[in-house]
Amino acid sequence: MAHEHKLEIFRGLLKFKSNTQKIWGVLIFLSLVTAIEVVLGIIKPAFLVQTSFLGMKLLNWIFIILTLVKAYYIAWDFMHLRDEKSSLRRAIVWTPIFLVSYLVFILLFEAVYIYDIFKNGFFAWDF
């Protein structure tokens, strides 16, 4: 129940006069990011689709990074994590980050393995 709000976003680059103003500022930023995602999703620039980085298209990496950016601002400003004690914030944020990266790593690794079996093994599924 911290009543005082931290009013700076972008590491102090932008400082708002009141909490209400900050909320609208964050909304504009989130809408902008979503608009960029949608435009990229419709246009699908060729060089982003053809370039691949760590087994995934560059475009998809951009989408995922922009998603994490949006998640950060929703959690920090809408869910007031910015105003909470850092110990609470760390407990909430790092627990899922650790568990989810682990889960995603093992599942995707396994999926690529199964993909190889389907592709190269003596196994017919596309008939």
Partner 1 sequence: MDTTVTTGNEENVWGGGNRPLNASYGKMMMWFFIVSDALTFSGFLASYGFSRFKFIETWPIADEVFTHVPFFHGNYPMIYVAFMTFILIMSSVTMVLAVDAGHKMKQNKVIIYMFLTIIGGAIFVGSQAWEWATFIKGDFGALETKGGRVLQFVKADTGERAAISEFSMTLEEDRVADARDTGIWFTDNESLPNYSLNEVIEGFKANPNILIRTEKINEEGEKTLLTREQSLGRLKDAVRVVEGANLIRNEYGSRLFADFFFFITGFHGFHVFSGVVINVIIFFNIILGTYERRGHYEMVEKVGLYWHFVDLVWVFVFTFFYLV
- Whether the CB-CB separation of 63 and 40 falls below 8 Å is answered with yes
Interaction between residue 48 and partner 1 (CB under 8 A):
no
Residues 6+ apart with CB under 8 A from 34: 70
CA distance linking residue 61 with residue 85, whole number of Å: 32
CA distance linking residue 24 with residue 18, whole number of Å: 10
**Among positions 104, 121, 122, 123, the unique one binding partner 1 when judged by CB under 8 A:** 104
Give the HSE-up count for residue 53: Cα atoms under 13 Å, Cβ half-sphere.
9
With the C-alpha atoms ordered 90, 91, 95, 96, is the resulting torsion angle positive or negative? Answer: negative
Interaction between residue 60 and partner 1 (CB under 8 A):
yes
Count the site residues for partner 1 by CB under 8 A. 55
Interaction between residue 7 and partner 1 (CB under 8 A):
no
**Among positions 2, 14, 15, 51, the unique one binding partner 1 when judged by CB under 8 A:** 2
**Among positions 38, 45, 51, 52, the unique one binding partner 1 when judged by CB under 8 A:** 38
Site residues for partner 1 per CB under 8 A: 1-3, 19-20, 23-24, 27, 30-31, 34-35, 37-38, 41-42, 44, 49, 60, 63-64, 66-67, 70-71, 74-75, 77-80, 84-85, 87-88, 91-92, 95-96, 99-100, 103-104, 107-108, 110-112, 114-115, 118, 124-127
